[in-house]
Structure 1
Amino acid sequence: MQVSNIVNLGIKELRSLARDPMLLVLIVYSFTLAVYTAATAIPETLNKAPIAIVDEDRSPLSARIIGAFYPPLFMPPVLITPAEMDARMDAGLETFALDIPPGFQRDVLAGRQPAIQLNVDATRMTQAFSGSGYIQQIVTGEVNAFIQRHRGDATPPVDLALRVRFNAELNKGWFGSIVQVINQVTMLSIILTGAALIREREHGTIEHLLVMPVTPFEIMTAKIWSMALVVLVACAFSLVFVVQGLLAVPIQGSVALFLAGAALHLFATTSMGIFLGTVARSMPQFGMLLILVMVPLQMLSGGTTPRESMPEVVQDVMLAAPTTHFVALAQAILFRGAGLDVVWPQFLALVVIGVILFGLSLARFRRTIAQMS
């Protein structure tokens, strides 16, 4: 092995990438607009949900309930007739339609348990799930306050002291932006290395390399360090200028320690990209393989859903995936300010997994080159 060959081949890969405008656009988009969108596009809490109310009672209690719905949780209620309710729901004008029956206040004061009908458009999944609970709390609170003639709540037997750590504002954007950066590191590293290998085959330049005094190890290592460097620089830029700068997300731990863990993760995922690039014979095949690989890596690694809520079999299998350990160390460092004394098991796991994937990819790469020669 000659270090100069690895360096020169890596520089060649960087020049090839610089001449590919589509991949450059993908890199820029993935670490800027995609991160910003993940942090801001989907609100975690209910926000300006449209609601219509059918007031068949027209009593002080029903007026009190109508007045309890206001921004930012709900849009100002639209008063409609019973005949309009189904048509407006079918047209998608409201997510919720509340029907207050006639004699509602009379039944409440008489100690009966009248029913209020709530129609929910379940196609708006996020609003439907959280909004139904909010509406039940609002209606129950207004009815209790009306009966008691005041808004004082009964003193609970236990005082629950809530302490929110690591995200005091419960801001979904803090979580979404960092998780998106983590996912993009995995996706781009696999795409760039796999695409670099397939591009060599499609352009016929891999044959030129075979007649040069370079080894498969040097060719593969050059692709890995060059593509990993690109992703690592883009990740650092996104954390500093997009996450901390544009989105004002406070990062608790050391960015340098996170980037060190990302470098180990990139060693594993770029090796995986080389392996997929040797299996696929064209870019369309590589794209199909990428979907089959990326979906479980992102969904089952603990980035969006805690691993403890998954079946034990899935938890055990995903311990062999580098994303599981990368997500754990990234969240520990960036969210909770953990140091190396806390995340060293994840660092060690990434080293072991990276070495195994590198060995498998190198063996597969050598067989592929032998078949071509």
Structure 2
Amino acid sequence: MHALLHSLSNIYRLGVKELKSLWADKVLLALIVWAFSGAIYTAATGVSQELHNAPLAVVDEDHSPLSRRIVDAFYPPYFSTPQQTTLAELDAGMDAGRYSFSLVIPANFQHDIQAGRHPEIQLNIDATIMAQAFIGASYIKSIALGEISEYLTGTREAGATPIRLTTRVRFNPNLTGVWFGGVMEVINNVTMLTIILVGAAFIREREHGTIEHLLVMPLTPFEIMMAKIWANGLAVLLGASFALIVMVEQVLKVPIAGSVPLFLTAAACYLFAAASIGIFLGTLARSMPQLGLLIILSIIPLLMLSGGITPRESMPQLVQHLMLAAPTTYFVRLAQGILYRGAGFDVVWRDLLAMSLVGSCFFAVALVRFRKAVSQTQI
């Protein structure tokens, strides 16, 4: 018992030293503040995946009540007010990027519709805006068909079908991209900052020569690692709490469906795994530039292939299986379940257990590498 208390005391005192060192490093401190404040806001609001005032040009060669009805159906917030133009000016406007979409309604359009013929409406799309091109094409088609159907039959139903499809959008009824971007930026920054802070703390000890001071003290590699994990993990956890409660809920007005304490508890478990990855990278690198390159090679796959940016189901089976060895996969899944869908412990406990087991493996590997690095330094 005395040995355990002595070890815990060493871990606590070393962790306090880490916090003081982090407080003195103004660059890392500024990075933490920005990552959990301004970066959350800009990531949520700066990159929009939905249509917002998309510029639309219309060439109306029919000038009929039906064609005017179709043109008037496009209005903000999805589309800007349609700009009337001519065929001669249309291509130049698309080439210059003034229009993202252009609609050409041919002459005698209303007459052909009423006669039972099937006239064609030409839709030109600027596909350089990939995220909005397919969404906009679907919206334009739906709006045009709805107006034509309502003009002819008095209802927006396209025609008789054997079933009636009722769509209900859950968890994000207005399909607001800010809800997804803000929360996922918090999750991604937890991963990024934990690996950076812990790895940088290890390299900083080596570059400043203070690692030799620790080695002559009655400390074990386990105690040194745990001190770096809890100190830097605490800083990241406080930043994530601020980002979630203040930036996401108050500033961005994103409703959190689940339990914030449950998410923070899961995040604390994940910090153990992510910090172990940071220490492992720190044992491989010999300088801060080398650590930076290793972090880039590690963080990008962790963020892109964990399901936080694109669904894992859309990835190749080999990638899905390989990413089961990464704790980020389980953390992203349980975090989305808690924050988006209000999942409780009875739903996420499997991911929490798997994340803890994978994190323990990373910790064991990092501990072996750290002991090897310590022995090399002593020699």
TM-score by length of 1: 0.93
Q: For 1:302, what is the secondary structure of its paired residue?
A: coil
Structure 2 unpaired stretches of 5+: 1-5
Structure 1 residue aligned with 2:58 = 53
Structure 2 residue aligned with 1:349 = 354
Q: For 2:341, what is the secondary structure of its paired residue?
A: coil
| CA distance in 2 between partners of 1:297 and 1:125 (Å) | 24
| CA distance in 1 between partners of 2:156 and 2:188 (Å) | 47
Q: Quick one: percent identity of the two aligned structures?
A: 58
Pair 1:138-2:143 in alignment: yes
Structure 2 residue aligned with 1:207 = 212
The one-letter code sitting in structure 2 at the alignment partner of 1:132 is A
Equivalent residues of 2:49, 2:132 under 8 A apart: no
Question: Where do residues 92-111 of structure 1 align in structure 2 (5 Å cutoff)?
Answer: 92-111=97-116
Pair 1:19-2:24 in alignment: yes
Structure 2 residue aligned with 1:193 = 198
Structure 1 residue aligned with 2:96 = 91
The one-letter code sitting in structure 1 at the alignment partner of 2:366 is S
Structure 1 residue aligned with 2:73 = 68
CA shift for structure 1 position 19: 1.3
Pair 1:233-2:238 in alignment: yes
Q: 1:169 to 1:145 in 2, by over 3 A?
A: closer
Kindly provide the CA deviation profile for residues 321-344 of structure 1, in whole angstroms up to 9, marking residues without a partner as x: 101111122122222222222222
Structure 1 unpaired stretches of 5+: none
Equivalent residues of 1:95, 1:127 under 8 A apart: no
Q: Which among 284, 290, 295 is matched to residue 289 of structure 2?
A: 284
CA shift for structure 1 position 43: 3.3
Kindly provide the CA deviation profile for residues 167-196 of structure 1, in whole angstroms up to 9, marking residues without a partner as x: 344333222222211111111100100111
The one-letter code sitting in structure 1 at the alignment partner of 2:240 is C
CA shift for structure 1 position 155: 6.3
Structure 2 residue aligned with 1:8 = 13
Q: Which among 184, 192, 198 is matched to residue 189 of structure 2?
A: 184
Structure 2 residue aligned with 1:42 = 47
CA shift for structure 1 position 347: 2.0
CA shift for structure 1 position 310: 2.4
Q: For 1:301, what is the secondary structure of its paired residue?
A: coil
Q: For 1:119, what is the secondary structure of its paired residue?
A: strand
CA shift for structure 1 position 140: 2.1
Q: For 1:170, what is the secondary structure of its paired residue?
A: coil
Q: Which among 207, 219, 228 is matched to residue 223 of structure 1?
A: 228
Equivalent residues of 1:39, 1:172 under 8 A apart: yes
Q: Which among 294, 301, 322 is matched to residue 327 of structure 2?
A: 322
The one-letter code sitting in structure 1 at the alignment partner of 2:287 is S
RMSD, aligned CA: 2.0
CA shift for structure 1 position 130: 0.7
Question: Where do residues 115-154 of structure 1 align in structure 2 (5 Å cutoff)?
Answer: 115-148=120-153, 150-151=154-155, 153=157
CA shift for structure 1 position 214: 2.1
Q: Which among 336, 359, 362 is matched to residue 367 of structure 2?
A: 362
